[in-house]
Structure 1
Amino acid sequence: MTNPRLFFRAITGFALLALSACAHTPALPVVSEEPIVLMIGLDGLRPDAIDRWDAPNLRALAARGVRPQSMYPVMPSKTFTNFYSLATGLYPQHHGMVSNAPYDRSYDEVFSNRNGGPQDPRWWGGEPIWITAEQQGVRSGIMFWLGSEIEHDGIRPTVWHTYVHEMPYEDRVAEVLSWFDAPADQQPRLAAVYFDHVDTITHGAGPFTPEEGEAVSRVDALVGELIDGLTARGLIDRTNIIIVSDHGMAEVTMERSVALDTLADLDGLFIPEFSGRYGPGLEPYVMGYGDSAAVERAYAALDGANEHVSVYRRGEMPGTWHFDHPDRGPDLFILAEPGWLLTRSDADLSGPWPAGMHGAHGYDSRDESMGATFIGAGPIFPRGTQPDAFENVNVYLMIACALGLDPAVTDGDPAVVARITGGRCPA
């Protein structure tokens, strides 16, 4: 198959040759033919949702590109861990974002949006794809992607924003498209935009509900606006559109919960998930940090105590999880069965979910309910293919290939990327 990097270099070379041969004629406007990547993040979109609900734009995109049955999120199957793994190509044990609010032993501190965590470079390891691009002279525009508020060695995306949850989705679309109204040499070749809508709705309503259907239809319409905007600007044929979600969603009820303190003595364990703004709540997992005596006491009590709860010590977790970061990996990891939730007997459950919670994620990343969406269409993706599922750490390498970038070291597998792209990105 044709190597896309060599192809685009050849096109550029022929264009320069033609211009030099016609130097005696008036100069024509330079029109770039270099490839573009637009990555669209749809939080919480299950891969089966676009088959169950009205999603004509996403289905059409899949029909002209690549759509595996599922994409494996990293563990834990949470938003911060996965959108940052998509950006860096790294497992959480290497980029450090091991949960939405990781605790760091060396700092003795919990990451928080309220104390400036999204702008604090201490928490964000690795090299996001937009930094790779900017280092190699490729402009990037990033709208609300996790980790994009951080400066890396003095480098930022050409365009970036502090996250504003309330910014209307249509305004996000309009701004992204406005980037491509600039002169050709000022347009981004890497653009990314994030939408939380499906996740927000299905936490409250649950998957497989009419509310989920309405949310899917809404984000599908936003994707359609972006595609129409690129088409109107004459850019669609050289744009690789990549649709990703961070995780799926499992059906839960507040009644299917286990109070961990009724099974084990948790004294001596610091559990970040029980120490946040609302105190103990309902969680798919909790991470415990403490000395060996506290860890062993809790492990002995919890191991086998409830059929819906699994417990793991540091260094003894499944090999597919990859979140044992040296300063942030937990000493004890307690995980609920999908559909169940962990809590404490003194939890006040009237706080964040006063109307009840019917959808949750964070469970084992290889469970079917946690599967993430991937759709890729454009020059590097073969038409209408349905490859086997793959890990999301491979997306970074796809983008690097599409843009002709030399990638940073990642946890992705070039052989997997070659398979997904039909050899257009050679291993």
Structure 2
Amino acid sequence: MTARFHTLGLGAFGLGALALSACASQGGEAPRMAQADEGEIVLMIGLDGLRADFIDLYDAPNLQALAARGVRAEAMIPVMPSVTFVNFYSLATGLYPESHGLVTNAPYDREFDTVFENGVSTQEERWWGGEPIWITAERQGVRSGVMFWVGSETQIDGQHASDWSVYEHEKPYDERVETVLSWFDRPASEQPRFAAVYFDRVDTVAHREGPEHPLVAEAVADVDARVGALVAGLEARGLLERTNIIVVSDHGMTEIDPDNAIALDTIIDFDTVFVPEMEGRGGAGHRPFAMVYGEPDAIDAAYAALDGAHEHMRVWRRGETPEDYHFNHETRGPDLFVLADTGWSLTAPSLWSRGYPPYPGVHGYDNHHPDMAATFVAAGPMFENGVTVPAFENVNVHAVIACGLGIEPAETEADPATVERLTGGRCPAP
């Protein structure tokens, strides 16, 4: 598939229209009030696994307050497959997986003849295509700070965000909040105008317990409190009125019945094909999808065996997946893509390297299923008040952020009409 790129005309809000003044806050003094001629700030908060309806199902007063004074989407549609690395990087780049290269959390590349390895490949530029929004900002003179966003450990054409960190899964959330807010305690010339921070807890708990377990309610309350702390910290620094806060998640979550499992090793011969989801470090546990690679004859045989083998499983050849899946990357797109129906799973018991119970909470299913719907809530000077917008694809977020910063977006696959709607007409479609 060939990517179709859209560019966004920023009109009166183009590059340089929003200049940052040289005023600086001083430690120990009363918080200064932001001046009208200072540039707007964008803070993007990533809440892993926050399904679109979680802030209605559970107590989330800070997120609800943001929605009340800003814009909330009925759903944000993740790219396919609906997993973490793929979607957080699409949010950053505005690109589909076939364009940025992260076609799954740990893709296999035919040219490299290797599988992406977390902790190593995260810092290898060869895996990361496109231009993340923090690089777009830096290239146009807008300082950025990024804490733990997917792709932020990698140099893009020799450049990082001005502030970035190697991922520390156990880093306390309070410290994450304090670090981000500390960036805004610097002299004005050293403060970011774009900042991003990531929290995993909802995804972690919902995987382990299932999406409607009481502990998920606690996880939602926890990340909601961090959102509240960031808002309060910006307000204390006199920055809230010029800050556009954008809260996003990567995907939703659904509950599976472990009895609804399809054993792929009873259907295909794993000695003739390579299936990273089943043969990698994660083992052959219950998976929503499988990407199959192999020589043409082996792929033909596997397709013949898989096609129609189970009523709750579908299989497509390379280049024949649904048009809106967009992961047919030249060297990483699978020869076969196997997808279970939502609530079902794929497994291969003969390949299990260790025994463990399946997670009751799973994502990765068809990106248009309601249980996979992600969250988008945004408030600030570029957004209308109390507006609910129809579902839209997450590849539009890069361009929305660029609009808020008054810079030109990179080449993206955003829909200009969607960006115009999300920004209340501030960045009109050409």
Using the size of structure 2 for normalisation, the TM-score is: 0.92
Letter of the structure 2 residue corresponding to residue 211 of structure 1: L
Instruction: Give per-residue Cα distances to partners, 1:8-48, cap 9 Å, x unaligned.
Output: 83x869x99xxxxxxxxxxx999561100000000000010
Give the conservation status (yes or no) of the 8 Å contact 1:4–1:402.
no
Instruction: Give per-residue Cα distances to partners, 1:184-230, cap 9 Å, x unaligned.
Output: 11100000000010000000101111011111001000100000000
Identical amino acids, percent of aligned pairs: 58
1:387 alignment partner in structure 2: 389
Displacement after TM superposition at 1:231 (Å): 0.5
1:98 alignment partner in structure 2: 103
Is 1:239 aligned to 2:247, yes or no? no
Letter of the structure 2 residue corresponding to residue 88 of structure 1: T
Q: Secondary structure at the match of 2:364?
A: coil
2:373 alignment partner in structure 1: 371
Letter of the structure 2 residue corresponding to residue 393 of structure 1: V
The root-mean-square deviation of aligned C-alpha atoms, in Å, is: 2.1
Q: Secondary structure at the match of 1:346?
A: helix
1:399 alignment partner in structure 2: 401
2:13 alignment partner in structure 1: 5
2:138 alignment partner in structure 1: 134
Relative to structure 1, is the Cα distance of residues 348 and 5 closer, same or farther in structure 2, using a 3 angstrom cutoff? same
State the alpha-carbon separation in 1 of the partners of residues 409 and 222 from structure 2: 34
Moved more, 146-155 or 185-194: 146-155
Question: 196, 208, 212: which one pairs with 1:208?
Answer: 212
Letter of the structure 1 residue corresponding to residue 106 of structure 2: A
State the alpha-carbon separation in 2 of the partners of residues 45 and 4 from structure 1: 35
State the alpha-carbon separation in 2 of the partners of residues 228 and 405 from structure 1: 27
Relative to structure 1, is the Cα distance of residues 278 and 395 closer, same or farther in structure 2, using a 3 angstrom cutoff? closer
Q: Secondary structure at the match of 1:137?
A: coil
State the alpha-carbon separation in 2 of the partners of residues 141 and 349 from structure 1: 40
State the alpha-carbon separation in 1 of the partners of residues 337 and 220 from structure 2: 33
Question: 402, 412, 415: which one pairs with 1:413?
Answer: 415
Q: Secondary structure at the match of 1:242?
A: strand
- Residues 98-117 of structure 1 mapped to structure 2, 5 A cutoff: 98-114=103-119, 116-117=120-121
Structure 1 unaligned spans of 5+: 17-27
Question: 313, 316, 336: which one pairs with 1:312?
Answer: 316
Give the conservation status (yes or no) of the 8 Å contact 1:284–1:342.
yes
State the alpha-carbon separation in 1 of the partners of residues 165 and 308 from structure 2: 47
Displacement after TM superposition at 1:278 (Å): 4.3
State the alpha-carbon separation in 2 of the partners of residues 170 and 360 from structure 1: 27
Q: Secondary structure at the match of 2:129?
A: coil
Letter of the structure 1 residue corresponding to residue 409 of structure 2: P
Give the conservation status (yes or no) of the 8 Å contact 2:33–2:237.
no
Relative to structure 1, is the Cα distance of residues 350 and 6 closer, same or farther in structure 2, using a 3 angstrom cutoff? closer
State the alpha-carbon separation in 1 of the partners of residues 413 and 16 from structure 2: 27
2:184 alignment partner in structure 1: 180
Give the conservation status (yes or no) of the 8 Å contact 1:267–1:294.
no
Give the conservation status (yes or no) of the 8 Å contact 1:8–1:34.
no
Question: 122, 125, 132: which one pairs with 2:126?
Answer: 122
Question: 276, 293, 301: which one pairs with 1:272?
Answer: 276
Question: 277, 282, 303: which one pairs with 1:299?
Answer: 303
State the alpha-carbon separation in 2 of the partners of residues 423 and 138 from structure 1: 23
Displacement after TM superposition at 1:265 (Å): 3.1
State the alpha-carbon separation in 2 of the partners of residues 349 and 342 from structure 1: 16
Give the conservation status (yes or no) of the 8 Å contact 2:286–2:358.
no
Displacement after TM superposition at 1:255 (Å): 2.1
Displacement after TM superposition at 1:345 (Å): 2.7
Letter of the structure 1 residue corresponding to residue 69 of structure 2: R
Which aligned runs of 4 or more in structure 1 are off by greater than 6 angstroms? none
1:77 alignment partner in structure 2: 82
Relative to structure 1, is the Cα distance of residues 7 and 294 closer, same or farther in structure 2, using a 3 angstrom cutoff? closer
Give the conservation status (yes or no) of the 8 Å contact 1:253–1:357.
no
Displacement after TM superposition at 1:347 (Å): 4.2
Give the conservation status (yes or no) of the 8 Å contact 1:314–1:324.
yes
Question: 27, 44, 55: which one pairs with 1:39?
Answer: 44
Question: 251, 254, 267: which one pairs with 2:258?
Answer: 254
Q: Secondary structure at the match of 1:286?
A: strand
Relative to structure 1, is the Cα distance of residues 207 and 291 closer, same or farther in structure 2, using a 3 angstrom cutoff? same
Give the conservation status (yes or no) of the 8 Å contact 1:266–1:294.
no
Displacement after TM superposition at 1:297 (Å): 1.0
Give the conservation status (yes or no) of the 8 Å contact 1:281–1:349.
no
Give the conservation status (yes or no) of the 8 Å contact 2:81–2:103.
yes
1:19 alignment partner in structure 2: none
Question: 60, 67, 83: which one pairs with 2:72?
Answer: 67
State the alpha-carbon separation in 2 of the partners of residues 255 and 350 from structure 1: 19
